[in-house]
Amino acid sequence: MITLNSFDTNTSTDAGATIGHALAVAARLMADIGMGRIELVTFTSDRICLHPADLAEGEQIARAVGCDFPLDHRMFVPGHTLWTGIVDGLEVQIRSVLRQPVGLLQ
């Protein structure tokens, strides 16, 4: 078993640019959110994307970790909203069902 402490997140002058840092942040987010609530995690050295098992929980999860900037993808089928924010120097994206902003014409 690999523990987070075994990852050297300070191998460069910019810890946010290392894959070890991204992995550690992703693991911490998963622990905070709850492993069973997330179906898929993808990450690069500067970005983490979480796909909830239940997309209806996406906005709640996003707001809980500080991702409060929505980007609505209405042209995709099915549409979805991508919530973004910065956590420990990394862009974090969390998918959710397509939101219906107040005042939106149907």
Report whether pLDDT(16) > 60.
no
Structure tokens at 1: 């078993």
Residue 9: predicted pLDDT: 46
Q: How far is CA 80 from CA 39, 47, 74, 95, in A?
A: 16, 19, 7, 7
Whole-prediction pTM? 0.76
Long-range contacts formed by 50-53: CB under 8 A, 24+ apart: 50/92, 50/93, 50/94, 50/95, 51/95, 52/94, 52/95, 52/96
Taking only the tens place, the pLDDT of each residue in 38-63 is: 999 999 999 999 999 999 999 999 99
